Amino acid sequence: METGTARDAELASALRLSVMRLSRRMRQERSSRLTPTQTSALASLERHGPMTLGEIAAHERVQPPSMTRVIAHLAIEGFVERRPHPTDGRQVIVEVTEHGRDLLADDRRRRDEWLTARLSQLSSEDLAALNQAASILDAIASI
């Protein structure tokens, strides 16, 4: 008889593979204008608001010099704007421009359209199961 731990490990493996495949496929639907790292930094800025380079690096779990290069590229492309820090002249504050917000919105729209088309091919039972699974997966990611 299979133990709960073995069943959990088997489910974990199956979920890991499925989530990775879906994630890879969703990334393919993104705009090819930015790397995943650039897109992630831009999305963090949109989600959390204006930040210093160090704060962005901490959110993205990368070293500040790496984030400096990412932000420099995003600024050249007009996706972010840098301005002086109000109290610390050694730092800058970075925020998303309207152009950057438009790019993120377009990327989300493209991925939502792709996923909506795939979901439309599923049965109502499968859709109900995915609806329930979505909140469970979100809870797992939040732990």
List of domains in the chain:
32-142 (1.10.10.10)
pLDDT in tens, 12-71: 999 999 999 998 998 888 877 888 899 999 999 999 999 999 999 999 999 999 999 999
Considering the entire predicted model, what is its pTM? Answer: 0.78
Q: How high does pLDDT run on average in the chain?
A: 92
Confidence band (pLDDT; 50, 70, 90) for 74? Answer: very high
> Contact, 23 vs 141, CB < 8 A?
no
> Contact, 128 vs 117, CB < 8 A?
no
Partnered with residue 93 across adjacent β-strands are: 52, 83
pLDDT at 1: 46
Partnered with residue 82 across adjacent β-strands are: 94
For residue 122, CA distances in Å to 16, 35, 95, 140 come to: 21, 31, 40, 24
